[in-house]
Structures are given as structure tokens and as C-alpha cells.
A and B are shown apart, each in its own frame.
Chain A
Amino acid sequence: MARRATLAAFVAELRTIGLPISVAENVDAMAAVLAMPIADRVALKSALAATLVKSADHHHAFEVVFDLFFGDSRVGIEDLTEPAAGTAAANGNAAAANGSGRPGIVAGLSDADLDDLLFRAMLAGDQVLIRAAVAEAVSRYADVEPGRPVAGVYYLYRTLRRLDTERLLARLVAADGPADLSEMDRALAAERRRGQVDDLRTEAEAEIRRRLVADRGAAAVARTLRVALPEDVDFLNASADQLAAIRQTVQLLGRKLAARLVRKRRHHRRSALDFRRTIRQSLANGGVPAELVFRKPHPSKPEIMLIADVSSSVAAFAGFTLQLANAISAEFSRVRSFAFTDGIEEITDDLSSATDITTAVRRISSRPGVVRLDGHSDYGMVLESFWERWGPQIRAKTSVIILGDGRSNYHASRSEVLRAIRQRARHVYWLNPEPANNWDTGDSIISEYGKFCDEVVECRNLRQLKEFVEVLD
């Protein structure tokens, strides 16, 4: 019964994160769990993944939460099929017994011997031994303090620093390369080793989570961890891994959005009647206008000018937005991009030749034209020079989109320039990556600009960015 409760809690947690799991899917998951004949964790995971996770983007979140709730390898399907079994065991207890029990062989080793053991295990690719060594390393170096409501990042840092993964990688690569190996083999082997060391990090992370779950129970750890789906990750405080995940999602999103826009344009049926062709057509039916002919829809293809703040605080957000806009640039008659901190430059050509826009943006953000003085954003100055240099090129079908947090470091706002831009342009939008309740705090003067925008849109994550792009015209 307790295990069934675990499954219910597991589904509840996934729903809290934002996975859309319907009642029918929940029942499917139960049926799938019962249908899998063998009691092992991998099978359980397959069954749950196939029934609950219907998007590849959500898989990572699923995996982390799965490890929290079913991390103990002894939680098998038999517990789910036997309603009477294990009533006494609260879900943390069994894990605790497992987590604290040190494997006998590794416990007695000195620190140097442990390093050596790990090195040899990785050289041979012995997963069981690696796992044992990592578990031991975590108990020695991480100093997990019971009862502290943390997500474990600090423990991971401590463990990995002590294990010195860089040196480990160097040792592994060196051990791989006897003289007779070709260059090619060596390069490929080095790459494989790097993958192995990355896996080590994942393993340590999982081990620490197992300890945390043993200490506080899966639900509590899930609460502090709160894995975010890629589309919900906040641009401004995403980790490097999350940024990579977002970048991949943006790529896919660009393709999907473009396809949808094309379809939307094609199905646009509200065009005017083409009288001449209707009459011409009717001659075939003896003058009866059986079929009405409409004018071909003439999709409005707006021109877009994207003005992006690329100063360090919001650079990631600017990068994704530029990437997305360029991915769907075929849907607009033209997309021009501008980058600024306290100076402004057009970067349209840099982006069209770049394969990876986010790194291109990072490079651009330190260019002399973009940084005039100190590289702290000065919105007033920038708007003014934009108006002087490119103002005459703004036309009635141009939408101007400004990307930035509106934090002008206490410089003058010169919002009257924005009013002038607004008068020439079709629309002026402002996308702000900060949460709306931080607007106008400190040096943020967003509402001063907001007066002259069609709309100021909070754009903290991919979901919001996507919503904005979809209605853009």
C-alpha cells in the first residue's frame, strides 16, 4: 500500500512541476506497472515514462523526480502489485537502510587508495565498482548534515572538488594512449573518457539525492529541488546545463513556430470575394456562380527591428530571443537585429553568418561599438543614437521590439525618443525578462518607457516568449 502511495505522490510531484498528466494517463501508468512482469527498476521506469511523459523536453525532469521517489533499487513492482506488502515502511525508511550501509570493501581504504580505486574502475568501465566508490566518496567528503533543507548543490561541489575530476580525466586519457594508437583513436578515446567523467558527476548527484531522500523523504527533497521544465526555467537565473537545454528547445521551437505561422497564413479565409474570377468560373456552369472565388490572402509580413540589451545581466535572454526571431525570420519581410549596452550597433549580418547565435551574442557584447564607456546599460543614450542613425528607416509596417530589463543605471531615460519611435512604427513592444513585481524597483524605469509602448510583456521563460511570438504581427 505504501508503494501505491509512493506512485500517487510521484504523480502529484510531476503535476506540480507542470507535466500535464490526465486521470486517464494516471490509470494507464497503474496498468502499465501491473503489466510489467518483472520486478526491476528499469522496467518500472520504462512503464512510467511511456505512460506519463509525452514530450522529450520533459524527460529530464521525469528522470530526476523518478530517482527521488524510486531511487532505492529495492522498490520494485512487487510492492505495487501486493497491496498488503510493506505497510509499515514509510517511503524514506527503506532508503535510509540502503544509503547508510557502506559497502565493506571500500570503507577501509585510505583517501589516496579510494582515488586509485575509482581510477581503475573507470579505466575498466566497471559500473558497479564506480558506483560503490562514488557512494564512499560522498559519505567521506560531502558532509551531508541531516535535516538541512538544501538541494544538495553544495554537497556535490564539495565531493567533486575533492575527487578532482580534471586530474582524473587527465590520468585516464594518459593511461589510454600507448604510442601505437593513431591520432584519431586517441581523440575518440579522450572524448569517451570525458563522457565517463560527466557520468561520474551525474552519479555523485544521484547519490547525494539518495542521501537527502533517506534523510527527509522524497516529497520534501522534491519540494526543495523543484526541477523546472525547460520552458519554465527563468532566463535570468538558469544554470549552464539549463541554458543548454533551453537552447535546444529554442531551436525546435523556432521550427515549430515557423510551421504553425505558415499554416495560419494559409488557412486565412477572410479575404475578399474576387468578383471577376467568380463570374469567369460561373461560365463553366452555364452562368450559375456555383463556386465562389476569393482573392488570395495577402499575408501581412511585418518588418521587425529587435533592439537587444546584451549587457551581462540579461545577455542570455537576449540571445534566446534573437535566436528565436532569426529562426522564424522567413515569416517576416525582414528581421534586423541591434545590440547595445551603452553604445548600439546593428548585428544582423553577424547573426546570419553565425551558426550558434547565443555564443555570437556573447562575443558581440564586448565589441567596441556596443560598449562605449563601461558596458553598463544606458537606455536613454542608446535610444537616442538608435533614433539618429536608424530612425528614418523605421516604416509604417515596422514593429520595434526592445529586449531589456529597463535598468538604466540611473541615467536619464529620454523616453521622449521612444514616443517619436512609436509615432513612426507600427508597434513598439518591450520584452522584460524580470518578474513583473520587480519592475520599477531600484534603477528600473520600465514604466516610464512603458507609457510609449503598445505593451510591456513579462518574458521570464520560454513559455512566455513563445506566447508573445505567436501573436506577433
Chain B
Amino acid sequence: MTDQQAWEHAAARAVRPSRLGSPERTAQGLREVGYLPDQHIASVVYLGEQLAKPVLIEGPAGTGKTELAKSVALMSGMRLIRLQCYEGLDEAKALYEWNYRKQLLRIQVGQTGQAVGDGRGPDGAASWSDVESDIFSEEFLLPRPLLAAIRSPEPVVLLIDEVDRLDVETEALLLEVLSDYQVSIPELGTVTATQTPLVFLTSNNSRDLSEALKRRCLYLFLDYPSAEREQEIVRSRVPGIGERLAEQVSGLVRSLRAMDLKKRPSVSETLDLASTLYLLGAEEVTPQLAADTLHVLLKYQSDIEKAAAELTAKR
């Protein structure tokens, strides 16, 4: 492919009408449902929709990866279909499964029907082929999240959560869905999406995902927010909190994150601290108060001791 052809190819994909409008409209919409995105986040979400590509969200725990996908669903009014990944997840739980109980019932009904002579073919072989084509029809198919997202008549948001927990071999299951938005069922043929779903994958980065998966996705790294953005998040999620307290909380968390800790405080823990302090009726954070409430932020005793020592040293 020459460079010129590549650009033409790219241009063809870039001009689809967009459901999200523009990056600004996306940001605005997310803001309205209570998620405060920065410009980069809004741009990537918009691009994911526009280019019809899944978005792979990676980052430390508790930075709002899952929340982002939920908020996009809420904002656009689309249904959210969620696939929670875990080790040992297989096709039957991710893609589809034949409802074998119902199939058995159908076969039994066929047999008894023949016994009482309800007019079905007297020829056993013919009725078997009837039964066979019958039991492998859509009626007996149990759609699991991936197939459900593909088959849905209205556009949906598909969230594949913690994709890094999948076994390396199972990861390949996702590839067909992610690149072509289709699922192949041997007995039925290929089911292709009529409406391209918006796909989000989240990963805690506990292992490297395969190149094949990464190549099919846009990549968004969600790091801890800047102090200003975090302060904004605190104020929107803990209504009634004083500006000064919010500023101090975000500053405190920021300085804790700069320390070398086993587990750095996440945004959700910041919010926990903010609501704790708010409920305690604190006007401002003193080093003593901060040291007393550290266990809200930090989950390891060694971390708490280290941070407490640091905080009291500042006094």
C-alpha cells in the first residue's frame, strides 16, 4: 500500500457521521453525567466511536476505568453490556451456549408427539432432520455478553472488564469480535453486528496483553488525575465539602503518591477520605488529623507507618 492509498483509506474511515458529535460534545456529555474527563480522555472516547475501534483503557486500580465506560453508556443512553473477565472464562460464558435442556425437551416432545400420532411425519428419519434443524436455531441459543452486544438491534456499549485476567489463549476469543464485530457459530453461520457497539476494555496491567489485541484497539492510559482535576472530582462527588478542605485533601493525596509506597492511594480512596473528613466536620486538615485518617487512604501497615512518619516530620 502506498502512502497515498493509505491516506485515502484512512479518509474513508474518518468521515462517518458521529454519534458523539465532537470531542467537546463528548467531554460536555460526560461532565453532565458526573464524570470529569480531561481533554485527552474525551478525544480518545470520541475517536473510538468515530473510527469504530475498541478502546483499551489501562492504568492503576481506582482511577475510573470502569466508571468511564459506564458514564459513556449513561451519557449516550445506550444499554451497557458487561463481560467480567476471570481466569478460566471460556466461550460458553463469553460468546454463546446452546440451551441443551431446552433442546432435550424439544427432542422428547418430538418423540412423544410421534407416539400419540399428532400428525407429524410417520417417517422417523424425516422428523429427525426437522428436529435437528429445529434445535440448532436461534431459539435454542443462549447469547452471552459478546454475542448479545453483536446481536442487539439498538447500539450498545460493551464493557470487557479486567481483560488482563483472561488466559492468553482465551484472549484470542475476543479478536474476531473486536476487529470485525462478528461472531461465527458453526451451526448457524456468522452473526454480524447491524449496529457497531462501542467497546471498552479495561486492564490493570497485571500482564502484557498480546500484540494482536493491542493492535485492534485504541489505547488510553488513565493515570492518577492532576491535583486540579482531582480537586474538581472531590468537589463534584462530595457535595457540600469546603473548597479549602478539597484543596488540602487533593494536595495530601498528591504528596502521598509521590512517596514510594506499596499501594498508592487511588481516586476512590481520595473520595473516601474527603467524605470521612466532611462527616467528621473538619474545617481543615492538620498533620495530626491526616495521620489519624491515613488508614482510609493506605491499605498496608508499612505504608501507613511510613507516611505517618513523613507527615509528622513536616510539623
Contact = CB atoms under 8 A, between A and B. Distances in A.
Nearest to A37: B22
Nearest to A81: B11
Interface string A4-34: 1000100000000000101111111011111
Contact of A184 (B207, B218, B285): B285
Interface stretch (B102-110, B144-152, B248-256, B265-273): B248-256
B208 interface: yes
Contact of A50 (B205, B219, B255): B219
At the interface, is chain A mostly helix, strand, loop or mixed?
helix
B302 interface: yes
B260 interface: yes
A31 B23 contact: no
Nearest to A34: B14
Contacts of A38: 22-23
Interface residues of A, number: 50
B267 to A, nearest CB: 17
A191 B205 CA distance: 29
Interface in A87-130: none
Interface string B176-215: 0000000000000000000000000000011110010011
Contacts of B217: 54
Contacts, number: 139
Contact of B251 (A24, A42, A53, A192): A192
Given A43-B23, A47-B43, A184-B314, A191 B251 contact: yes
A448 B22 CA distance: 66
A46 interface: yes
Contacts of A46: 23, 39-40, 43-44, 47
A185 interface: yes
Interface residues of B, number: 57
A94 to B, nearest CB: 21
A51 B251 CA distance: 33
A74 interface: no
A273 interface: no
B219 A53 contact: yes
Given A27-B6, A37-B23, A184-B248, A191 B50 contact: no
B70 to A, nearest CB: 20
Given A4-B7, A188-B248, A43 B302 contact: no
Interface stretch (A135-143, A202-210, A256-264, A391-399): A256-264
B142 to A, nearest CB: 26
B167 interface: yes
Interface of B: 1, 3, 6-7, 9-11, 13-15, 22-23, 39-40, 43-44, 47, 50-51, 53, 55-56, 58-59, 167-168, 205-208, 211, 214-215, 217-221, 223, 227, 248, 251-252, 254-255, 258, 260, 262, 284-287, 290, 302, 306, 314-315
